[in-house]
Amino acid sequence: MNVISHSVHQDKNLSRKLGFKWVSSINKLLKESDIVTIHAPLNESTKHMINMGNIKNFKRGAYLINTARGEIVDNAALLYGLDNGIWAGAGLDVLEGECNIKEEKEFLHSEKECDWRDVIEAHLLLKEKNVIVTPHCAFYTQEALMRILDTTLDNVNGFLKGRVINRVA
């Protein structure tokens, strides 16, 4: 398979080592990919990175997989893409507004503001035949757990030696 990637920070050595190519823009990645997987933190620049404005750039019949953060993909765009045959399907480990789904009963009895559109769209996604939704557990593999443990041990050892190993801003 040919693997392509897009990132604001492109590591040429990593791409040579792992055998993938960087592309210059997210739209180029969307146009050329049969499967798009999202691996990005949620921040101002990634919120709704997949949206109504760029779903037209997806290769028709592609699959979208989001294991990062739900708010990176706009639910309305996701539903539109699925309903209009842009995507053949989606694999979602996260949903936009998923915290609202878990707490629906609380929202009904509280004065807290809630965007019910997120809840409704998420429920519609759960019913789509070509969507697989997992309970935010994509990290739960032997390899991922070992990386988490190794990183934790490195951080603790670094702290004990007075060095910062993995600074999280």
Determine if residue 96 is left, alpha or beta; phi over 0 gives left, psi from -120 to 50 gives alpha, anything else beta: beta
Give the active site residue among 6, 69, 111, 167.
69
Task: Give the DSSP H/E element, type plus range, for residue 162.
Answer: none
- Dump the DSSP string for 123-140: HHHHH-TTEEE--S-TT-
Catalytic pick among 6, 32, 128, 136: 136
Which residue from 28, 24, 31 is spatially nearest to 10, judged by alpha carbons?
A: 24
Q: In the annotation, is 69 catalytic?
A: yes
Q: Tell me the HSE value of 45 on the side-chain side, using a 13 A CA sphere.
A: 5
Token pair, residue 151, equals 């990183």
Given 48, 98, 104, 121, which residue is catalytic? Answer: 98
- Given a contact cutoff of 8 angstroms between Cβ atoms, the answer to whether 94 and 70 are in contact is yes
Within 10 Å of residue 46's Cβ, how many Cβ atoms?
17
138-157 burial, b at 16+ Cβ within 10 Å, e below that, comes to beeeeeeeeeeeeeeeebee
109 is catalytic: no
Is-catalytic flag, 98? yes
Q: Which residues form the catalytic set?
A: 69, 98, 136
